Structure 1
Amino acid sequence: MIRGILIDLSGVIYIGDGPVAGAREALSRIRKSGLPVRFLTNTTRTPKQSLLERLSKMGFEIKAEELFTPAQAARELLLKRRLTPHLLIHPALEEDFQGLPASSGGACAVVVGDAADGFTYQALNAAFRDIADGADFLALAKNRTFLDADGHLSLDTGAFVAALEYASGRTATVLGKPSADFYAEAAWDMDVQMSGLVMIGDDVESDVSGALKAGVGHALLVRTGKYTPGAETKADPQPTAVVDDIDAAADWILARI
């Protein structure tokens, strides 16, 4: 039985600067069911507060504690381990890392997000050198692509993380989806067993297969956002179901509670 719902943001409830058709109504129906909801995003160009404000302007009322971001997970890890961050991220995201202790000559962690035009040779090489010297290697996400503002797919963080992994011979610790810890933190926050959760997403690797591998009971793939026809046939494991959009996902879920 379904006890809680995890929902991706971009491509599922909104695309660009507007909501997906029927998304606000679908979320309203889900909320009325009484099931706890958490929103998991791998977006690493926008700080959490700005993202919440953007969602509010689109008519989505989401509380800060309901939204889980990779930057949030990274910040908590850096503080816990007392690591000095070497940030290779989008300038806008630096807001989420403000207030961290300045370098004191101690251990360092390279944090890689979607730096966009910041992925220069010089910046990548500086990150590589720190990783090669033993710095912790943290990836906010490892997605292959994202749906860009022009409606086409663009390179996401994963390609650059892979380049650093190849050059350094080390594997990054992924903090966003499909990290099992990322899903587990949301489950813990809802006080729901992983097996009682359902994930809704448009990324067959991170949202669907990643969730199922992490122990989430069900994962629904929507045909909006960056979904491409036939993507589900290449997934391992495959989606519990493929639905047209979040409205159809709400129908699927509400019929099973």
Structure 2
Amino acid sequence: MLKGVLIDLAGVLYTGEKALPGAVAAVRRLRAAGVAVRFLTNSTRSPKRMLLARLKAFGVDLAPDELFTPAAAACDWLARHGHAPHLLIHPELCEDFADAHAIGPEAVVLGDAGRFFTYEALNAAFRKIDAGAPFLALAANRVFRDSDGELSLDAGAFVVALEHASGRAALLFGKPAPGFFSAAAASMGAGMAEVAMIGDDAEADIAGALDAGAALAVLVRTGKYRDGDETRFKPGPSMVVDGIGDAVDALLA
């Protein structure tokens, strides 16, 4: 019996401003079966406050400590290491860093800044990394399903650009970083071998969770899923289903 299930947000529970069919009921079925649930997102355009409000508006009942975000993980790192953030992020995410150290050596923090990825902003971040500042990447996803229904560039391309220019690897905080998964599992009193992951990203969600030691990882054909994703990355998914309702049915069975 699984102790817990980790669930991605965008593309699994909802798309745009609409909950996906059966998503809310699927979460309720897990809780009713006594299975702990944690929500993991690589979204770095919206603050945690807005993500919680969106989920609750859809009817997903959750506590703030059940939602794991890369920004929160990065803030913990900054506090433990005594660094102040140099932010290259979307302005809406800035509130999640409001309590970060204002003084101390700087660390570059990169998220999905969207249209704020200007040459000037990227070059300023490069110069700080080149001068020795730690480089923190909130996520490194390749693409995401945008509000118009099409795929758009995610933060990963900009992470790689700064790594290439500076010759220094970023420290990753979101999926597929093993510590991101294991922190969520530990919060449920579980080890990674006792949890399953449900996601729409075959690379970050599925291969990432399995590499981190998850018992199972279920790929859903919603969100950013594209035909052939199940064979595009290794390790491949434990199973592929049409949506989260089917994933929960399979896991509870």
Q: Deviations over 1:26-80 (max 9, x none)?
A: 1111110101110000000000011101111111122101000000001111011
1:134 Cα offset (Å): 0.5
Question: Which residue, out of 177, 180, 185, partners 2:178?
Answer: 180
Partner Cα distance (1:216, 1:173) in 2? 22
1:39-78 to 2 correspondence within 5 Å?
Answer: 39-78=39-78
1:193 Cα offset (Å): 1.3
1:107 Cα offset (Å): 2.0
What's the secondary structure of 1:190's corresponding residue? coil
Partner of 1:249: 247
Partner Cα distance (2:110, 2:198) in 1? 25
What's the secondary structure of 1:26's corresponding residue? helix
* TM-score, normalised by the number of residues in structure 1: 0.97
Partner of 1:232: 230
* 8 Å CA contact retained: 2:30, 2:248: yes
Partner of 1:22: 22
What's the secondary structure of 2:165's corresponding residue? helix
* TM-score, normalised by the number of residues in structure 2: 0.99
User: Which stretches in structure 2 are left out of the alignment for 5+ residues?
Assistant: none
Point out 4+ residue stretches in structure 1 off by more than 2 angstroms: none
Q: Deviations over 1:178-225 (max 9, x none)?
A: 000101101111110111110000000000000000111110000000
1:119-138 to 2 correspondence within 5 Å?
Answer: 119-138=117-136
Identity within the alignment, %: 55
User: Which stretches in structure 1 are left out of the alignment for 5+ residues?
Assistant: none
Partner of 2:207: 209
Aligned length: 253
Partner Cα distance (1:27, 1:198) in 2? 14
Partner Cα distance (2:47, 2:205) in 1? 21
1:120 Cα offset (Å): 0.3
Partner of 1:164: 162
Partner of 1:90: 90
1:88 Cα offset (Å): 0.2
1:236 Cα offset (Å): 0.3
Are positions 1:79 and 2:69 aligned together?
no
* 8 Å CA contact retained: 2:78, 2:101: no
Q: Deviations over 1:217-253 (max 9, x none)?
A: 1100000001001111112000000011000001111
Cα-Cα RMSD: 0.7
Question: Which residue, out of 192, 195, 198, partners 2:196?
Answer: 198
1:127 Cα offset (Å): 0.2
What's the secondary structure of 1:178's corresponding residue? coil
